[in-house]
Amino acid sequence: MSADRPAIRRLPLDEAALRRYAADLWLPYNRDLADAVAAHDLADWPEERFVERHVAFARDRLEEAGSRGWVAATAGDGTDDAGVDPATADVTDPALDLVGLLMTSVDECPDPFDRPDRLVIGEIYVAEPFRGTGLAERFVERAVADARDHGCEQLRLDVDVDNERAVAFYERIGFEDYRKQMTMAVDPG
């Protein structure tokens, strides 16, 4: 693996790894999403509160059968990083830069319906310096492998219509519309 090509690897469920993932990937992902889509504005909380809340949420979700978390890592830019292998180093190693995330889960078809099980891409994020490098495509390939592992015949994801870059990417790689999700404001009365 070349030094500049991120390694994609499973996200461990230990506290330190989940904290690093939440601070270095989940929070930047949601800040970027809030910049692109007004409906995703974040609360005015200190960073540590976001991390604490998300660590518990991520652990619960990843402990569910059929759920997996993946991170992309590279050796950092520091001079002491030369011997660090992003594919095997501990996710909490400060010599690693976490540059992307993928979260998947299985959506099993209920008995009365005739559709295949689907693997849901719940989150996919690539840090700005790695956009356009093929990392997002590699994450989708990873999701396809997860789908096969779980016997799923389809991938599914939700994307905000205002997130034009993401919509264009998903359409370019073969995703198609299958449902329209709608919202309506309710007066709190």
Considering only residues 24 and 3, tell me which one the structure prediction assigns the higher pLDDT.
24
The single residue listed with the structure tokens 């389809």 is: 154
pLDDT value at residue 160: 87
User: How many percent of the chain have pLDDT more than 70?
Assistant: 95
Specify the pairing of strand 118-126 against strand 154-157: parallel
DSSP label at residue 138? H
* Averaged pLDDT, 139-164: 94
pLDDT of residue 2 exceeding 90? no
Task: Give the burial class of 76: count Cβ atoms within 10 A of its Cβ; 0-12 exposed, 13-18 middle, 19 or more buried.
Answer: middle
On average, the pLDDT of the chain sits at: 90
Mean predicted confidence (pLDDT) in 131-146 = 97
91 or 110, greater pLDDT: 91
